[in-house]
Amino acid sequence: MIMFARLRTAATTLLASGLLAGCSSGLATDPAPGLDVNTDVVSSIPKDETIAALLPPEIRQAESVAVGSSVGSPPSAFYLADNRTVVGQDVEITDAVGRVLGIRVDRREAAFEAILPALGSGKFQVGTGNFGVTEERKKTIDFVTYIDDGQGFAVRQDSDLGQVTDITQLCGRAIGTGAGTTFEATLNAHRERCAQIGRPPYEVQVFSEQSAMYSALQQGKVDVLMSTINGLRYATTQQPGLRFLNEFRRLDVGFALPKNSPLAPALQAAVNKLIADGTYQRILHKWGTTASAIPSSQINPTETR
């Protein structure tokens, strides 16, 4: 992705500032939009024996799957105020898929930039972290899509920057983004374009924690942030003085797997089952990301341009 390494402090601050104040103490039957962390839309999902039969024998026998999980920020995956409990859209979609398949999700927290290499070494069987599907990544990684997110920009309220539709509009500015992400790759790939049109280059500052990235924007150390559409939309509603600028590019997001993983068809079928029975839509409604819904899961789709 798209997402970054872990962020405990910022997520805790957001929750402490009022996120939980409006939540009921019990489990609601109809999810409310936004981050209502008490709404349960997963625990009653039954196992689908037909889909479970698609699992590779070793996973079916172990009844569990090792998932390398990057914890970043709302609404994707973040910590509650206890600094231990991980919640979010990616977490619930993964748990829901596990229930359809009748297996336990053995979630193992890892830095965003460490997960994809660890898939190749066999440390994890699946990776989650809002990983965007790109042709470059598909050379070594397989993807099973479950949402459509992408790249966007955020600025301070007093910024004179208009909507960014071309990277050269950022020439001469300082841009904050995350390590190992599609944003960093996009910015690096277009570095020379400013010089080609006689403009000063933009400066890319890479952060491994989103708390530091947002602080840099607030303090004027960077002029603009490039990050996930859903993450920026949420963060700019919670942090005074910031605004979501615009979407730049939509990108399919999926479970990451080792190349030619036999697990892919089972994951795809499970996601499509959740879409068909309405659970998928309820999860996205809960986390306020219904605009990122996909009509069906795909294995290794063509990168969105």
Q: Are 174 and 222 in contact (CB under 8 A)?
A: yes
pLDDT tens track for 117-148:
999 899 999 999 999 999 999 999 999 999 99
SS3 assignment for 60-117: HHHCEEEEEECCCCCCCCEECCCCCCEECHHHHHHHHHHHHHCCEEEEEECCHHHHHH
SS3 assignment for the chain: CCCCCCCCHHHHHHHHHHHCCCCCCCCCCCCCCCCCCCCCCCCCCCCCHHHHCCCCHHHHHHCEEEEEECCCCCCCCEECCCCCCEECHHHHHHHHHHHHHCCEEEEEECCHHHHHHHHHHCCCCEEECCCECCCCHHHCEEEEEEEEEEEEEEEECCCCCCCCCCHHHHCCCEEEEECCCHHHHHHHHCCCHHHHCCCCCCEEEEECCHHHHHHHHHCCCCCEEEEEHHHHHHHHHHCCCEEEEEEEEEEEEEEEEECCCCCHHHHHHHHHHHHHHCHHHHHHHHHCCHHHCCCCCCECCCCCC
Query: Average of pLDDT values for 187-203?
Result: 96
What is the per-residue pLDDT for 35?
56
Query: Average of pLDDT values for 53-77?
Result: 94
The answer to whether residue 303 scores a pLDDT higher than 60 is yes
What is the per-residue pLDDT for 27?
31
Query: Is residue 97 very low, low, confident or very high in pLDDT (cuts 50, 70, 90)?
Result: very high
Beta-carbon contacts of 124 under 8 Å, excluding residues fewer than 6 positions away, are 66, 67, 68, 108, 110, 115, 118
* Range of lowest pLDDT (5-14, 93-102, 112-121): 5-14
pTM given for the model = 0.83
Query: Is residue 16 very low, low, confident or very high in pLDDT (cuts 50, 70, 90)?
Result: very low
Among 51, 75, 123, 141, residue whose Cα is nearest residue 292? 75
Query: Average of pLDDT values for 182-207?
Result: 95
In the predicted model, what is the mean pLDDT of the chain? 88
Between 279-287 and 89-101, two packed helices, what is the crossing angle to 10 degrees?
160
What is the per-residue pLDDT for 1?
47
pLDDT tens track for 202-248:
999 999 888 899 999 999 999 999 999 999 999 998 889 999 999 99
Query: Is residue 22 very low, low, confident or very high in pLDDT (cuts 50, 70, 90)?
Result: very low
pLDDT tens track for 262-287:
999 999 999 999 999 999 999 999 99
